[in-house]
Amino acid sequence: MKKYPLFLLLLTTLLITIPSCCKNSQCPWQEDEQNAGLTSSVKGDVYHAVVPCASCPGIDIWVQLYTAADGMRFRIVERYLEEDNAVFIDEGGVTRKNETIIELQRKDGAQSYLLGDGYISLLGTMDVEEGSITDNADYRLYKMPAGFKMP
């Protein structure tokens, strides 16, 4: 199956409709008072995708990777689509496993990502343990333009 054209169509539609629908509400690139300390002083790469989910239509994931005084850090926002009160935010340190793999130190355990050119790809536990690193396009988060702020 060719999911890439469908993904591009979805991404284009979102980028066109989001600016028009958030005149009086919070937009991902507009800073609000609640997140002012998190996004204004933190410069880093922001990645985004909607990935598959077994119990819902998908998970809207935003990941920000940045450098702080204590090393490389991350902030992740996960929203389960069509589920009420299903937004999860996590922050923590990042460990570089090698040139192409990073590990986010999350509250509920480590999560590994493959670093690609303009994207990061979520790796499964078996990928990391068995050393058979394969890039799964369904779990790629694409790098957003510079200056793009997380929701």
CATH code of the region 27-143? 2.40.128.640
> Please, which pLDDT band fits residue 27 given cuts at 50, 70 and 90?
very low
pLDDT > 50? residue 74 = yes
CA 66 and chain centroid, separation: 13
Q: Which helix (H) or strand (E) holds 16?
A: helix 4-21
Q: Where are the beta strands (DSSP E) in 4-145?
A: 44-51, 59-68, 71-80, 87-96, 101-106, 109-116, 119-122, 140-143
What does pLDDT average to over the chain?
Answer: 75
Look at residue 25 in the predicted model and tell me its pLDDT.
Answer: 41
Q: Stretch 5-17: mean pLDDT, rounded?
A: 51
Residue 126 to residues 14, 50, 83, 122, 140, Cα–Cα distance (Å): 33, 22, 28, 12, 17
Q: What is the pLDDT of residue 79?
A: 95
Least confident of 40-44, 65-69, 93-97, 141-145: 40-44
Contact by Cβ (8 Å): 114, 23: no
